[in-house]
Amino acid sequence: MSAATAAPAAQAKGHIDPAAAFVPVQTRSERPRSYDPGAFGAPTGREVNWKHTPLDRIQALTTDRPGDEGAVGITVTGPIAAASLAAGAAPRGEVFEPEDVTAAIAWQRAAEALYLQVPAEAELDETVMVDLRGAGASLVAHAHLVIEAMPHSRATVVLRHAGSAQFAENVEIIVRDGAALTVVSVQEWEDDAIHLAAHQARVDRDASLRHVVVSFGGGIVRVNPNVELAGAGAEGEVYGLAFSDSGQHLESQVYLFHKGASTRGDVLYKGALQGESARTVWIGDVLIGPEATGTDSYEANRNLVLTEGARADSIPNLEIETGDIVGAGHASATGRFDDEQLFYLQARGIPEDEARRLVVLGFLMEIVQKIGVDELETALVARIEEELAR
């Protein structure tokens, strides 16, 4: 698995314009993939997948160097036991192919992958909790996680990130036929942490994946989910919540690939921003492939800017390669408080500050309530309250 590979589509679609200048890859489906960090080179900021990221702050993760021992500790609790997978041991690499240099470095540097397998037919009522805690802002760490839901199983896995580190993380998700899996990634890092994560998932026949990204802490947090609905009847729900404070950069580049027939996809990310230089970036790409007849897909991103000086970038993209679909669409909206909502609440005797708090909570709760883990939902509501109180 260590040999370099590149997607044939990327090789075919890159081209030279009449002025003999290379035209860079623009769409997500065209991006090259490789297990070799050298195949990508150092990001310059001109690449479509790097142009919104502050490269000067992530150089430790774009440089191929060994990680620091003990930089990020990992603890697993719940109804299944954790195992490890060496490079080349199945199912590691069955789905995951790095799309950028940081993911390729993490692939090479993570000698052992954490492996969580949900047994066939098992229905786990207890959540599997994976706690990842950084030991210091100057420490560099690389990790690869494999989560496999065997046929007709049911489970929820929560990844909780805290502490501080410079952390490159790959998460490989395999949802076998008829399985239903929820994966939630929560980022509650300290303000000096850097976290770059690539999540890649494949959903097989009549299976479903609910994938949720919740980002509060960290100086730079970039979690990029890539979900392939490979089997007929597969379903993917891809949700996200970001609350960015002053100086924070919270980013997600989402890719949903409808490959099989009669697949259904729903993408919804919401962001709230407050403070000078608070920043969120959301790029959403949906590809409906030529064999994906009967597809029903929708993606949306909505952002609420709470103060001056904050910035939200929102870029939805949709590619359709078949005319036989149920429906497909995308939407993006960024704005300030709804004055009518504030007026309605204030007219009923609610003070302005409290009215604003209620509006923000109502805006973000739609994502929180999709998680389906009561204890975690309660904790996240408390965290939103903390952010609003700052």
Beta bridge partners of 209: 181, 236
The pLDDT of residue 23 is 53
The pLDDT of residue 166 is 98
pLDDT in tens, 214-232: 999 999 999 999 999 999 9
pLDDT category at 24 given cuts 50, 70, 90 is low
Beta bridge partners of 4: none
Q: At what angle do helices 339-346 and 352-368 cross, to 10 degrees?
A: 120
pLDDT in tens, 287-340: 999 999 999 999 999 999 998 999 999 999 999 999 999 999 999 999 887 667
**Does the pLDDT at position 48 exceed 60?**
yes
**Does the pLDDT at position 22 exceed 60?**
no
Give the number of other CB atoms < 10 A from CB of residue 368.
Answer: 21
**Does the pLDDT at position 195 exceed 60?**
yes
Query: Residue 286, class by beta-carbon neighbours within 10 Å (0-12 exposed, 13-18 middle, 19+ buried)?
Result: buried
**Does the pLDDT at position 342 exceed 80?**
no
Residue closest to 372 by CA, chosen among 181, 161, 223: 181
- Token representation of residue 361: 């909570």
pLDDT category at 349 given cuts 50, 70, 90 is confident
The pLDDT of residue 262 is 98
pLDDT in tens, 240-276: 999 999 999 999 999 999 999 999 999 999 999 999 9
If one compares 276 and 348, the residue with the highest pLDDT of the two is: 276
pLDDT in tens, 60-70: 999 999 999 99
The pLDDT of residue 358 is 85
The pLDDT of residue 21 is 53
**pLDDT above 90 covers what percent of the chain?**
82
Q: pTM for the whole thing?
A: 0.92
Q: Rounded to 10 degrees, what is the CA torsion of 38, 193, 170, 243? A: -120
pLDDT category at 20 given cuts 50, 70, 90 is very low
**Does the pLDDT at position 26 exceed 90?**
no
The pLDDT of residue 267 is 98
pLDDT in tens, 120-170: 999 999 999 999 999 999 999 999 999 999 999 999 999 999 999 999 999
Residue closest to 192 by CA, chosen among 247, 130, 232: 247
- Token representation of residue 120: 């066939």
